[in-house]
Amino acid sequence: MLSPTIPQKALVMALAVDKVRIRPPRATDAEQLAALNRDLGYTTKPQEIVTRMEKVSKLPEHFMAVAEIENGVIGWVQAEHRFSMETGEKAELVGLVVGAGTRRRGVGKLLVQAAEEWAVDRDLSSIVVRSNVVRPESHSFYKRIGYARSKTQHVYAKPLPAASRRHLKDRRG
């Protein structure tokens, strides 16, 4: 029987948070991470996930962690230490995914807190996140955990021809 002083939603959140472990990702998580990406409409093969994790793990300006419960990985976060001439140094959340069945239970907040702690350890004074306009539920999530909208922008993308990518790779060595 539930205690009359503690709302049921709070109990569910507390139970989920108590069972979540935040840790670095492993290659064996690739299948579950690919499935989480599919939840948001990003088709990524497990081998691509492994390749990306290997690259991220070698970049000291990046942070990545997964949220795990007994049944497996239920979310992930990635942050980056950014520098620009206009704003200086800051952290940016560049990816956050929580499985549809485990949303609204504190998992996303735990993942974001892990990224924030990483940013504080790097002596960064702010952290930003970009959130797609087609995901209004994420907008309210970020507001609930203390983020404030600072601007609205359009993002433009342009694919580069393969020859340009090879040229850039050759220049890097």
Q: 88-105 pLDDT, tens per residue?
A: 999 999 999 999 888 888
At residue 7, the pLDDT reads 39
| pTM exceeding the 0.95 threshold for the entire prediction | no
Model pLDDT for residues 156-172, shown as the tens digit of each residue: 889 999 875 566 666 66
pLDDT of 46 above 80:
yes
Burial 15-25 (b: 16+ CB within 10 A, else e): ebeeebebeeb
State the average pLDDT for the chain: 85
At residue 9, the pLDDT reads 43
Alpha helices in 40-135 (DSSP H): 46-57, 107-121
Q: 3-class DSSP state for residue 28?
A: helix
